[in-house]
Amino acid sequence: MSAVRWLIKCGAGAAIVLIACGFATVRFGGGLQMPAATTRDGTLVTLSRYLREPVPDIVLVGSSITFRLKEEYFATPGLRNLALAGGSPVTGLEIVAKQPRLPGVILVEANVLARPTDAALVKRYSRGDIEPLFFRPVRAAVAAYEQRLHAPLTHEQVALDLRRLVGQPPGDFDNRVYVNHALQQFNAEDPTDVVQFNAKRVEELIRLVEQRGARVLLFELPYAEPIEGSRFAATTREIVHAAFPDSKRWLPIEVNRSELRWADGVHLDERSAVIVTQAMERALALARTGK
Amino acid sequence: MTFTSWQFGVFVAIVFAAYYLPALRAFQVQLLVFASLFFYGYGQPELLALLAVAVFGTYLFLVLALRNRQVWLPVGIAFNLALLAFFKYKLLFIDPASPSLVDFAPLDFLLKLPLPIGISFFVFHNISLLVDLTRQKATPPTLTGVFLYIIFFPQLVSGPITRAEMFMPQIKPKYFADIAFVEAAKWILTGFFFKLYVSNNLNEMTSYISFPLYETLQTQDRWLLVFLYSYQIYADFLGYSAIAIGLGLLFGYRLPINFNLPYISTSFSEFWTRWHISLSTWLRTYLYVPLGGNRHGVWRTYLNLMIVMGLGGLWHGAGLGYLMWGLLHGLLLVLERPLLARLASIDFAVFRAARMTVVFVCVTMLWIFFKLPNFDHAVGYLAGMFTPTTNPNPTKLFYSLALLYSLPVMIQHLGFRPLFEGRLRWAEPYLYGSMAALMYLEAGAETSFIYFQF
C-alpha cells in the first residue's frame, strides 16, 4: 500500500469516528452528564448543569467544605449547590454574577477565601457556549452506565435515611492523623493578603448582584476545635467579619457542636453535614420571612 | 515547548518544510542544530549557555582524546559527570530559596539556575560520543555534527539515549522521497495516543497517590492506583519515545526503540531489556561492562549489578526514593540470577504466566518509590496498602474509567500486532485513524511528560 493511500485511509478512519461523535453530540449532547472522575470534572458537571437548567431560587457557592452539603440533604425546593471542591467561593460567585438571570438568594461560604479565583473557569462559563462540538465517547459511555446504576437522588427519596442517620449517635472515627495534617497546612502560610483581596472582590460582587435584585447571605461552616484556632481560620474570620460587620448579612448556623464530627477536622462527615444543612434551612426560612 | 502543544506542531511544520527545500539541502544539519537550539531555548533561554558549554567542552575533549585517549577520555567524562552532579545534586546541599547562597556572585548565579531540562540525557550522549569515537579512533567529526548528535530536538529532552556509533553515521544529506511516512505516522500517532488518551487520563486518578491526598484513599484503591500508575508511566514514556522516533524518521534519522512490551517480561533481567532500553543499554555498555560485568566471579557480578542499578536510580534524581528504587531492582536482579537457568528450563504456559505476574507485580510495587521520591511518603503509602481504611469519606474512583483508559496498554501487551501485520492488514490505517480521533476527543487534562523532570 502506498504511503498516500495509507494516510488517506487513516484520515478517513479518524473522520468516521469524529462524524459519529458529532452526530451523537447533536442527538444526546444536551442531556449528557459526564461522570466526575476528578474534582475538576465534578466542577464542570455542576456548572454545566447550572447553566443548562432553569435558574433556581437559592444557590450556594463555596469550597470543598460546602461541597459536602449535598443537594438532596436540603428539603427546600429549588436549591442548587455550586460549591467547587478544590475551588474558591469567589469563583462560584463570579460565575453566578455573570449570568443573565440571577437566583433569589445566594449563600456564600466565608471559610475558604485564600484561594485565587479560577479565571479560566469563570471565562469558560461566562461565554454561554458550554456544549462541546463532540462529546467524549468513553466518558459518555461510563456516564450512561453510572447514571443507570446511581441516578441522582431527590430529598424525598433519602428523607427517611437522613432521619435515621441523624438519629444515630455521632461517629467515633479517629481523625487525629488527618487533623494534624490539616492543622499543619492551616498554620503554614499567612493568608492575610489573599483573603483581604478576595473579601473586597466579594463585596463588589455582592453590590453588583444586589443591584440586580438578588439577596446575598454569608455563612461560616464549623471546623473541628483545633482547626478553629489555626492561623488560616482565625485570620480569615477576622478579615471577613471586619469587611461584613452587619449581622443581617450573615446566615447564623446554630448547631450543637458536640454532635458534629469531621473526617479530617475540616470537612464534615455525612451525619454532621445533614445536621448543619437542617440548621441552615431553619435560619434561611427565618431570614426569608423576616426580610 | 512540549510535544503536545500547538506551538510545537507549528515549529515542526516550519522546520520540516525548510529542511527539504532543495536550496537548503547543503545546510540541513545546521538547520536542525538551529531548530534544536530554538526548541531548547524556548523554555529555558538562560540555559542555552550551559548547553553550549557542554557541547563545546565535549567537542574539545573529543579532539584531545582522539590524540591521547588515556589522558583526555577520563577528563572528558569527568567534565560531563561534574556538570550532571552540579545541577542535579546541588539541591541536596543548598536551599535555592535563600536570598544569597555564597558571597561569590557568579557562583551564586550558577547555584540558583534551575535544573536544565534533559541534562541527564544530553550528558549521557556526550559520554557516549567520547567513548565510541575514541574507541573507533575515528577522524574528529564536524562541530555541527557533534551539536546535532547531542541536541537533536526530538531526543534532546527525554531520549531515547542514542549511541554515537549509531547516530553519527546517519549524518548525511536527506531526501524527501526517502521519508518513511507511514512508519513515522504510526510512531507519532501511537505516541500521542498513549500520552493523551492513556497517560493524561490516568494521571487524573493517579494524582491521588501524592501526599497527603493518598490519606483519603480506600485500601483497595491504593492497590488499584499503583497498577494504574504502572500503566501510566509506561504510556507516558512510551508516548514520548514513540513521538521522538517518529519525528526522527521525518528528518531522516532512525532513533533506537525504547520499549518492547516490558510488562510481559518473565524475569527482571528480561524486563530491563524491554523497559527504557536505551538507558539500560547505555548503563550496560558504559558502566556495567567497564566495572567488569560478570567476568570476575559471582559476588563481583552481584556487586556490579547493585552499583549499576543504584546509580541508575540516582540518575533519575537526588532522592532516597530513587536510590531505593534502583537498589531494589538491583536486589531483584541479584536474587533471580542463580535461578534463571532452572526457571528457563520449565517451559509451559501457566508457569510462564505466573512468572510474568510476579515480575509485573514487583515492578509495579517499586514504582511507588518513583512516584513518591520522599521515602517517608512512599513507606506511608505502602503501609496503607496493607491496613484497612477507616476514613468515612474516601475518594471515589470510577473503576470503569480506570479500565477503559488502561485498556490500550493491556491490549498492546496481549500481542495483537501480528494480526494487524497479517490477516487484518487492511484495517491498520483505520485503526490508527480511530486512535487519532480518540486522542483528540478523549484527551485527558494537559500534564507534562513524567520524564521531563529528569
Mean pLDDT per block of 10 residues along chain B (454 residues) reads 89 96 93 94 85 91 91 93 86 67 74 81 90 84 91 89 90 93 96 96 90 83 96 96 96 95 96 94 92 91 95 87 93 95 89 95 95 89 87 76 94 84 87 95 82 68
A40 in contact with B, Cβ within 8 Å: yes
Residues of chain A in contact with residue B215, where contact means CB-CB under 8 angstroms, are 177-178, 181, 264
One-letter amino acid of B280 = S
CA–CA min distance B434, chain A (Å): 5
* Inter-chain Cβ pairs, chain A and chain B, closer than 8 A: 114
pLDDT for A64 equals 87
Instruction: Identify any residues that bridge with A109 across adjacent strands, giving them in sequence order.
Output: A219
Query: Which of B393, B434, B442 is closest, CB to CB, to A14?
Result: B434
Residues of chain A in contact with residue B430, where contact means CB-CB under 8 angstroms, are 9-10, 12-13, 16
- Cα distances from A278 to residues A75, A158, A260, B27, B101, in angstroms, run 8, 14, 13, 76, 57
Query: At A118, is the pLDDT very low, low, confident or very high (cuts 50, 70, 90)?
Result: confident
Residues of chain A in contact with residue B387, where contact means CB-CB under 8 angstroms, are none
Is residue A28 in some structural domain? no
Query: Which of A10, A35, A138 is closest, CB to CB, to B429?
Result: A10
CA–CA min distance B205, chain A (Å): 7
- A77, pLDDT greater than 80: yes
Query: Which of A13, A146, A269 is closest, CB to CB, to B430?
Result: A13
Whether the CB-CB separation of A139 and B442 falls below 8 Å is answered with yes
pLDDT for A35 equals 57
Is residue A8 in some structural domain? no
pLDDT for B97 equals 64
Is residue A192 in some structural domain? yes
- A197, pLDDT greater than 80: yes
Q: What are phi and psi of A231, to 5 degrees?
A: -60, -45
pLDDT for B101 equals 64
Taking CA–CA distances from A135, the nearest residue in chain B reads B441
In this prediction, residues A110-136 reach a mean pLDDT of 79
Is residue A16 in some structural domain? no
- Domain residues for the domain of A173 are 59-130+152-289
Specify the CATH number for the domain of residue A210.
3.40.50
CA–CA min distance B376, chain A (Å): 14
- Cβ–Cβ below 8 Å for A269 and B204: no
CA–CA min distance B349, chain A (Å): 34
| Chain B contacts in chain A segment 245-284 (CB below 8 A) | 263-264, 267, 269-270
Q: What average pLDDT does chain A have?
A: 87
Closest CA to B333 of B385, B379, B275: B275
Taking CA–CA distances from B177, the nearest residue in chain A reads A3
* A50 or B172, greater pLDDT: B172
Query: Which of A17, A134, A174 is closest, CB to CB, to B434?
Result: A17
pLDDT for A140 equals 80
Taking CA–CA distances from B184, the nearest residue in chain A reads A3
Q: Could you tell me the three cell numbers for B227? A: 497498577
Is residue A14 in some structural domain? no
A70 in contact with B, Cβ within 8 Å: no
CA–CA gap between residue A68 and residue A75 (Å, rounded): 16
Instruction: Identify any residues that bridge with B182 across adjacent strands, giving them in sequence order.
Output: none
Residues of B in CB contact (< 8 Å) with A are: 181-182, 185, 189, 201, 204-205, 207, 212, 215-216, 390-393, 397-398, 400-401, 404-405, 428-434, 436-438, 440-442, 445
Q: For A212-240, write each residue's pLDDT tens digit.
A: 999 999 999 999 999 999 999 999 999 99
Split into its structural domains, chain A has a count of: 1
Residues of chain A in contact with residue B216, where contact means CB-CB under 8 angstroms, are 264
Annotation marks residue B316 as catalytic? yes
A177 in contact with B, Cβ within 8 Å: yes
- A269, pLDDT greater than 70: yes
Whether the CB-CB separation of A146 and A256 falls below 8 Å is answered with no
Catalytic residue among B316, B329, B377, B413: B316
Query: At A31, is the pLDDT very low, low, confident or very high (cuts 50, 70, 90)?
Result: low
A133 in contact with B, Cβ within 8 Å: no
- Cβ–Cβ below 8 Å for B390 and A174: yes
CA–CA min distance B258, chain A (Å): 25
Most confidently modeled range among A4-13, A153-162, B211-220: A4-13
Strands A58-61 and A105-109, bridge-based pairing = parallel
Is residue A96 in some structural domain? yes
- A38, pLDDT greater than 80: no
Report the sign of the C-alpha dihedral through residues B262, B265, B267, B273, in that order: negative
Whether the CB-CB separation of A183 and A224 falls below 8 Å is answered with no
CA angle A247, A250, A251 (to 5 degrees): 130
Q: Could you tell me the three cell numbers for A95? A: 460565575
- A29, pLDDT greater than 70: no
